[in-house]
Structure 1
Amino acid sequence: MLYIHILSLPCVLRCSRAAASWTQEDGAPNLRAILTNTSIKWSSNTKISFPGDGDFINATTRWTVFRPPTYQAAVSPATEPDVSTAIRVASENSIPFLGTGGRHGYGTTLGNLQGGLALDLSKLNSVSVDKDAGTLTVGPGVHFGDVLDPVFNAGYMLPTGSCSCVGILGATVGAGIGRLSGLYGLLLDQLISARVVTAVGQMVTVSNDTNPDLFWGIRGAGANLGLLTSATFQLSPLVNNGDFSSYDMIFPAAKNGSYFDVLASFNDGSSAFPAKLSAASAISYNSTTGEILANWAYVGSQDEADLIIKPVLDLDPSYIDRRVISWPRFTAEAQFGLDAALCEVNKTNDIYGINTKNLDTATFTSIFKQVGDYYAQWPDGQGTTITLEAFPNQASLAVPEDATAYPWRDAQYNILLQFTWEASGNTVEEPSTRLAQSIREQIASSSGYGGLTVYVNYAHGDEQIEEIYGRDKLSRLVELKRAWDSNNAFSFNNPLPT
């Protein structure tokens, strides 16, 4: 196994990020012999599988197949102690592994693991709502879609993400941005406590009172520090009975500049975007040309929403679907009902992310034309979209900056460049990469951060480390990495240096 040794923190801040990579070669541990050794006492429902087994496919199928990790074996633990056993066995035998819940992660650093061990956590899918305490406790196999009804039926809400198929704990350890960030903050801000398996298989509890340093670190860089087997979140009372005023709209190519002007006008200062309002806009292809698909949503009455988003409605979209959607149905029904399609697995999705404080309309008008030219020249890439998430940040900013490891609380927009095509090795891959990197650079130059910054869950994998984790928090994160994972077992998800 290859370990990367960083000589000094100043080098970390200056140098591009280096990720450990591992490929099983001749002489490497025999995973079948190790995992099936009768001295290991697995619980009866824990599954050990290998390539060719049906259980192996179920344990390793991914949302995206772009530059994926590969495995020689998979363990699907049925109990929390079996997670500890699996990591302890991996540690003792120098077997690299990835723990996965929703398997929705798409960072290319995951592909640095070739021929390792898959630790499939899908069986740990318990959901428990304590109505009296107003808390939710879930396992690592739980997706956002699994908690919406139980939480809502108990009279609460939670700041969930934008897709129902994403694993809750995977999103949380990165931050957990979403449409309710203005009201409740980030998903990690709701985290009360968690149970974490360390790099040597030890089970520990983390909270503000127990192992507080590790609790600080897992909220923003958790994929580097341990594996969560359970997490408890604080829930919040329903706002507006949980009803969203939702507006799905389509704007033709000719109105793209006007649309970006209006979207930018809601950002007159970091807190100008109303706390109850959110918008997700996508440059997309409509079979003949580019257009903008937009969903604006307000946690309040339609009369209030009509007044607040009047500048958007005044643009006279070519299509509009205006209706009230209850919070547990919002993810599935809003945004043109695209959630089901966006959650399809085994697709090629090559994704780049950028955070911004500002939205420069001239930059995005230019990008709209560049993407249109790309659609025309490369028909195989016409499924590509550029998404702008404008999520409020008032409650996120109300949390002290040093309270968690997450560094980008003041971001107003999170932008995703999602390039997709049908087959690996398609000729569109190279021009897609060129365009993605060019667009990312253009947006970063006017982001308000003075360069590229990216939400860790949206990272591509080629960024410098301070562009993901922030320069100010790196030294503390490196010390935590040394203390809790000195052998770099958790080294494949946008890795921190040791």
Structure 2
Amino acid sequence: MKLAALVAGAAVVAARDVYAPHLRDIEECQVESVNYTQLAEQLSSTAQVYLSGSDAFDSAVMRWSNLSTPVANVVVLPSTEQDIVTTVKFANQHSLPFLTTNGVHGSISTLGQMTSGIEIHMSQLSSITVASDGQTVTIGGGVISKNLTDALWAVGKQTVTGTCECVSYLGPALGGGHGWLQGRHGLVSDQFVSMNMVLANGSLITVDETSELFWAMKGAGHNFGIITSMTSKIYDLEHSNYAMETLMFSGDQVEAVYQVANEQWLINGATMPVDLINWSYWYYDPTTDAEKPVIAMYLIQEGVDTVSENYTNPFLALNPLSSTPSSGTYLDLAAWTGIALDSTPCQKTGNANPRFPIYLKSYNTTAQALVYDLFKEATTNASTPFSNALFMFEGYSQQGVKSFSDDATAFAYREDNLLVAPLLTYARNGTALDEVASKLGNQIRQILYEGSGETTLNTYVNYAFGDETPSAWYGSEEWRQDRLRALKEDFDPKGQFSFYAPIA
């Protein structure tokens, strides 16, 4: 077969480790009786194949969360969409499972059901092309959110992306996708115009609003194919400047803080203003409070240099521990909220990072106090493994999201206002600790669910722990489940795209 060694800086990876066809002959190599050199010879000249045991392979398969992780025998880095077609057909010929990866934060436990096969790492498909009319952008399947945001910013454009800089553009989008601009334009998936995708049988198709599959891709898209490129709506940059007020509260004030949030934006006919985002985090910071987690409340406003007093004064009246203003641009939001490329939540540390998400319409302050006590006990006792845990409360403006009908897409939870999730970061040391984390996370979520007054558990599939049901991920309405199952049967009858939150 033919090979090109991968050069990374001054280092050359051994020929046995990395395969990219068309330079020099070597012996055929087999992994678990599958001749991957045959696959390498069929790929484009810049595609790469990493075999298990190499540094390049280890880097490619490293997960953000080291809990119930998928196992691959080989990693393929396609550089053309035809490479993906070839890889999927090769996998089918050899009865091999395959899984597409890109970016970080995919941590659902169902991924652990892949115990061998091919990882298709999308990072080389990173093109970003703005249409000449300035109305759309075509995005390669491996593009990271920050790269897209920066590329559009450079030409005075924007679109909705995930908030965290290190996530892929498409990963969040396929599950709906929340973002800073959703109050203006809707979810990430609401921006879809068309997509090129490879189906389970290896066929390459284009999907747009004329296809029945288009509906499913906007909320349950992980189940149906590999997107090689996506065309999305884009918008003129209207508000470059942003301001944020960071208010730090003692945990003793938990009920009062969230009562203010309720009264401001979530109950009695109130709504989050379209120019405002309200996030909060709970975390243990012994430099601020050695006895209990703090509450960090973020008020983020677009188009201003200082957050309006109408938004800050009700919280300031509670006498926070501190109040810190920030002023900058849209590009600063990720760093301000601790989710930039160099922030801790974007690093692959080898820790487990399970989340237990739930959607809410408003805060039940009694439930908030109860789960705060659980979170406090879990993060501040002397022997806790969860001292680095983070509790996330994401309150986006919703006007753009709610401008679409409930049945417009597979995303089911447009009427909910809050995305809440404890992130129980810990260093794994056996299944017993995993069980403790699962019990704690589900106990927290159950209290919030019971306090919500809802009759169904609504969860965000992109944050899912994995023990939830398809009804929780994709909506409990019978017609939704029936429609998704029918499409699954039509487009993926063998369930080859079922490692991430499977429909059935």
For 1:317, the aligned partner's letter is P
Note the C-alpha offset of 1:451: 2.9
8 Å contact from structure 1 (residues 97, 117) kept in 2: yes
Give the structure 2 partner of residue 397 of structure 1.
402
Which aligned pairs between 1:35-434 and structure 2 lie closer than 5 A? 35-37=36-38, 41-130=42-131, 132-209=133-210, 212-240=211-239, 242-265=240-263, 266-268=265-267, 272-287=271-286, 288=290, 289-302=292-305, 305-335=308-338, 340-345=343-348, 346-377=350-381, 378-425=383-430, 428-434=433-439
Q: Which runs of 5+ in 2 are unaligned?
A: 1-29
Q: Which moved more, 1:196-205 or 1:294-303?
A: 294-303
1:309-330 CA-partner distances (Å, limit 9, x unpaired): 3212322322222122211222
For residues 14-53 of structure 1, the aligned pairs below 5 Å read 33-37=34-38, 41-53=42-54
**Partners of 1:180 and 1:103 in 2: CA distance:** 21
Relative distance call for 1:338 and 1:58 in structure 2 (3 A) is: closer
Taking structure 2 as the reference length, what is the TM-score of the superposition?
0.88
8 A Cα contact 1:348 1:424, kept in partner: no
Shift of 1:31: 5.4
- Normalising to structure 1: TM-score of the pair? 0.89
- CA distance in structure 2 between the aligned counterparts of 1:166 and 1:347, rounded to whole angstroms: 17
- Paired position in structure 2 for 1:23: none
- Number of residue-to-residue matches in the alignment: 466
Residue type of the alignment partner of 1:258: A
Contact 1:270–1:410 under 8 Å retained in 2: no
Residue 50 to residue 336, structure 1, CA distance change in 2 (3 Å):
closer
Which of the pair is proportionally richer in helix?
Answer: 1
Q: Which of 462, 473, 480 matches 1:468?
A: 473
Give the whole-Å Cα distance in 2 for the aligned partners of 1:303 and 1:282: 21
- What does residue 438 of structure 1 align with? 443
Which deviations, in whole Å up to 9, do the C-alpha atoms of 1:99-133 show, x marking residues without a partner?
A: 11214201000011112211111111112223632
Which structure would you say has the larger RCO, counting Cα contacts within 8 Å and 6 or more residues apart? 1
| Paired residues of 1:180 and 1:276 also in contact (CA < 8 A) | no
CA gap 1:48/1:89 in 2 versus in 1, 3 angstroms:
same
Deviates more, 1:425-434 or 1:92-101: 425-434
Instruction: Report Cα offsets for 1:438-481 as digits up to 9, x if no partner.
Output: 11111112335323110111111101211111123111111110
SS of 2:38 mapped into structure 1: coil
2:179 and 2:106 mapped to 1: Cα distance? 17
Percent identity for Structure 1 against Structure 2: 28
Q: Distance in 1 between matches of 2:268 and 2:138?
A: 36
Where 1:279 maps in the other structure, the secondary structure is strand
Relative to structure 2, which stretch is displaced further, 37-46 or 244-253? 37-46
The Cα offsets for residues 272-306 of structure 1, whole Å up to 9 and x where unpaired, read as 11111111111110121211122210113256622
Which consecutive residues of structure 1, in runs of 5 or more, have no partner in the other structure?
1-28
> RMSD of the alignment, in Å?
2.1
Residue of structure 2 equivalent to 1:14: none
Change beyond 3 A, Cα 1:91–1:268: same
